Amino acid sequence: MTRSLMTAEQIEELLLDDVRRQRHCDKVEAIRIKPCQPDEDTNFANWKVASVDPGAASREFAAAAVITAMDRLQREVSALPWE
């Protein structure tokens, strides 16, 4: 499968939108990603989540939602090179 190429900001927006749609996660404030070496742990994507600001959302629910969204998006999207 061919991955889409997006900026880090676009990926962060996709992650945040996906996470906010999950149960008890509508108040998650921000998700930041960082570059990494592609490997099995990242589904061979060149990015991973660096930080999550859960805001007023439950940390447990937010963490679970981020892991699920990250796993899916890492299979679909690669980040354009960071500048």
- Rounded to an integer, the average pLDDT of 46-72 is 96
What's the structural domain count of the chain?
A: 1
* Distance in angstroms (rounded) separating the CA atoms of residues 44 and 60: 26
- Rounded to an integer, the average pLDDT of 24-53 is 96
36 lies in which domain range?
4-79
Q: Is the pLDDT of residue 1 over 90?
A: no
Q: Is the pLDDT of residue 68 over 90?
A: yes
Q: 56 is written with which tokens?
A: 């007023």
Share of the chain above pLDDT 70, in %: 98
Q: What are phi and psi of 74, to 5 degrees?
A: -65, -25
Q: How confident is the model at residue 43 (pLDDT cuts 50, 70, 90)?
A: very high
DSSP state of 57: S
CB 29 within 8 A of CB 55: yes
- What is the pLDDT, as a whole number, of residue 82? 75
